[in-house]
Amino acid sequence: MKIAGQVFEKFRADINTDEIIPAVYLDTTSYEELAKHAMEGIDREFANSVSQGDIIVADKNFGCGSSREHAPIAIKACGVSCIIAKSFARIFYRNCLNIGLPIFECGEVDKIKKGDVLEIDFQTGLIKNLSTNETYSTTPFPEFMQKLIEVGGLMEYVRQKNRL
């Protein structure tokens, strides 16, 4: 599978989950509502201006802080197709895999600019920057995580494994 999209925003290091979705919005389980407030702690206009299929890029330790799954849900529900970062905080990383939001760890994010168009090959893990013709590699997922990604998240994995 391949996806292509434009880099909507490039974020600094250590973006925390309070910035992704402030705690005042943790009183809902509605994806639509969470989508309206994605990244509100850092950019009030983000949710209004991001388009379906856009990609977000970040420096190291994206998603640090609380375990709130509302954070990756808000990002996914507002239309972001994938996150590329130098590294992810651990709980955010597993939350993304669990809910089926594609993420890639890439050491070369410094070369990616806001507005670049990227094509990502999920099989090879290669990112092609169609704006600059560069290609970047990403950290490959271990086999178990590959399986989670292939089936679309943890609940589907549990369903299949336990024949539910």
Partner 1 sequence: MGKTITEKILATHLERDVSSGELIEVKVDVALGNDITAPLAIVEFEKLGVKSLFNPDRVVLVLDHFAPNKDIRSAEQCKFVRAFAKKYGVKNFFDVGQMGIEHALLPEQGLVLPGDIIIGADSHTCTYGALGAFSTGVGSTDLAAVWATGEIWLKVPQTIKFVYYGKLNPWVGGKDLILHTIGDIGVDGANYMAMEFTGEVIPKLTMADRLTMSNMAIEAGGKAGIIAPDEITLEYIKPRAKREWKVYASDSDAEYVEVREYDCSQIEPQVAFPHLPSNVKPISKVGQVEIDQAVIGSCTNGRIEDLRLAARVLKGKKVHKDIRLIIIPGTQQIYLQAVKEGLVEIFIEAGGAVSTPTCGPCLGGYMGILAQGERCIATTNRNFVGRMGHKESKVYLANPAITAASAIAGRIVPVEDIL
Q: How far is the CB of 27 from partner 1 (least distance, A)?
A: 4
Residue among 3, 14, 108, 122 that touches partner 1 (CB under 8 A): 14
Distance (Å) of CA 81 to CA 8, 18, 54, 59, 119: 11, 21, 6, 18, 11
Rg from Cα positions in the chain: 15
Residue holding tokens 């994995």? Answer: 157
Using CB under 8 A as the binding criterion, the count of chain residues that bind partner 1 stands at 44
Q: At 101, phi and psi to the nearest 5?
A: -100, 115
Within residues 51-80, the interface with partner 1 by CB under 8 A covers: 60-61, 64-70, 72-73
Q: In what order do the strands lie in the sheet with 55-58?
A: 103-105, 82-85, 55-58, 2-11, 117-121, 127-129, 134-136
Q: How far is the CB of 39 from partner 1 (least distance, A)?
A: 12
Does 83 sit near partner 1 (CB under 8 A)? no
Kindly tell me which of 73 and 118 has the beta carbon lying closer to partner 1: 73
Q: How far is the CB of 2 from partner 1 (least distance, A)?
A: 26
Residues of this chain that interact with partner 1 (CB under 8 A) are: 14, 16, 18-19, 22-24, 26-29, 41-42, 60-61, 64-70, 72-73, 87, 89-91, 94-95, 98-99, 142-145, 148, 153-155, 158-159, 162, 164
